[in-house]
Amino acid sequence: MTEQTIALVTGANKGIGYEIAAALGALGWSVGVGARNDERREAAVAKLRAAGVGAFGVPLDVTDHASVTAAAELIEDRAGRLDVLVNNAGITGSAPQMPTTVDVATVRTAVETNVIGVIRVTNAMLPLLRRSTSPRIVNISSGVGSLTRQTTPGAETGPIAVAYAPSKTFLNAVTIQYAKELRDTNILINAACPGYCATDLNGFRGVRTPQQGAAIAIRLATLPDDGPTGGFFDDAGEVPW
Ligand SMILES: NC(=O)c1ccc[n+]([C@@H]2O[C@H](COP(=O)([O-])OP(=O)(O)OC[C@H]3O[C@@H](n4cnc5c(N)ncnc54)[C@H](OP(=O)(O)O)[C@@H]3O)[C@@H](O)[C@H]2O)c1
């Protein structure tokens, strides 16, 4: 087995995921670029390699069990273990998302990708993560999933979004449950809020760069062994639940 640290970033072909892959690669790590579209994945891998990153493509649709299983097999064959998993792939779901008029299919799709996709990928990768000496899992959440912020008058939580925002609240709750089950292992699992970044997800209206958004994921991916688990963090520190 290679000594080089092995990471997998889901949804790494663009946006914050791409920048997470680039930043982990800059640490000298070998980075799996998880992406569902062949062309977009290979373009991202080529761009990362041109920048000196030890990137490799991992075909991966987080909503597809067979795809996720094949991704775990690919990493098993290539590296025999996984050190860091960044569950970044996410969608907002189609608009409108007003609770009283939403198409429930929109809610279901957001949960399928943003929550169940994370559980599916995490569980497929866990046998590989358990072989690492310092496994880390980072779930890319969002401050809009913070119930405290959602119920604090004046707090900036974006538009009403009955699919997207609760899917991130759900993801936060799922992160806590994993941390509780894995408490007696060396696996640290945390949720990260990248802040409002200019990406396809929001029509590039975000005020931060995707590189800035990636920074908290890098911090949580490189936590020391006595670092936190079951937390929710952004650049400024802990995010309220
Ligand atoms: N941008 C922000 O302001 C912001 C704020 C808070 C949290 N976040 C979170 O940050 C993460 C990254 O978002 P982003 O802003 O970088 O958005 P983005 O540019 O739209 O990137 C999303 C990535 O997820 C991938 N993806 C979506 N569904 C997938 C699936 N079923 N299987 C595999 N990959 C899938 C996309 O792949 P395709 O190219 O194939 O669609 C793309 O690579 C998301 O979890 C998002 O909720 C973003």
Q: Is 191 exposed, middle or buried (0-12, 13-18, 19+ CB in 10 A)?
A: buried
CA distance 141 to 144: 8
CA distance 93 to 110: 6
The number of domains in the chain is 1
Backbone φ and ψ for 137, nearest 5 degrees, come out as -125, 130
Q: Does 45 fall in a domain?
A: no
For the CA of 202, the closest atom of ligand 1 is 1
**CA 162 to ligand 1 centroid distance, Å:** 18
Arithmetic mean of pLDDT over the chain: 97
Q: Would you state the pLDDT for residue 78?
A: 97
The domain in which residue 97 lies consists of: 6-12+59-238
Q: Does 38 fall in a domain?
A: no
Q: Is the peptide bond before 210 cis (omega within 30 degrees of 0)?
A: no
Cβ of residue 37 lying under 6 Å from some atom of ligand 1: yes
Could you please report the per-residue DSSP string of 215-227? Answer: HHHHHHHT--TT-
Number of helices followed by number of strands (H, E) in the chain: 8, 8
Cβ of residue 197 lying under 6 Å from some atom of ligand 1: yes
- Taking Cα atoms as reference points, which of 3, 54, 51 lies closest to residue 33? 54
Nearest CA to ligand 1 atom 29: 89
**Candidate from 39, 58, 172, 199 with most ligand 1 atoms within 8 A of CB, to mutate:** 199
For the CA of 141, the closest atom of ligand 1 is 7
**CA 200 to ligand 1 centroid distance, Å:** 8
pLDDT in tens, 25-51: 999 999 999 999 999 999 999 999 999
Contacts of 91 (CB under 8 A, 6+ apart): 109, 110, 113, 114, 164, 201
For the CA of 210, the closest atom of ligand 1 is 16
Q: Does 174 fall in a domain?
A: yes
Tell me the CA distances in angstroms from 210 to 12, 90, 239, one per residue in order: 12, 14, 19
Cβ of residue 62 lying under 6 Å from some atom of ligand 1: yes
Confidence of residue 119 (pLDDT cuts 50, 70, 90): very high
- Please give the positions annotated as active site: 164, 168
Mean pLDDT of 104-120: 98
CA distance 86 to 223: 13
Cβ of residue 234 lying under 6 Å from some atom of ligand 1: no
| DSSP-derived 3-state class of residue 191 | strand
Mean pLDDT of 134-149: 98
Is 4 within 8 Å of 30 (Cβ atoms)?
yes
- Residue 1 pLDDT > 90: no
CA distance 187 to 132: 9
Q: Does 225 fall in a domain?
A: yes
pLDDT-wise least confident of 94-103, 121-130, 193-202, 214-223: 94-103
CATH number of the domain within which 109 lies: 3.40.50.720
- Taking Cα atoms as reference points, which of 9, 23, 6, 233 lies closest to residue 121? 9
For the CA of 67, the closest atom of ligand 1 is 32
**CA 182 to ligand 1 centroid distance, Å:** 26
Mean pLDDT of 41-64: 98
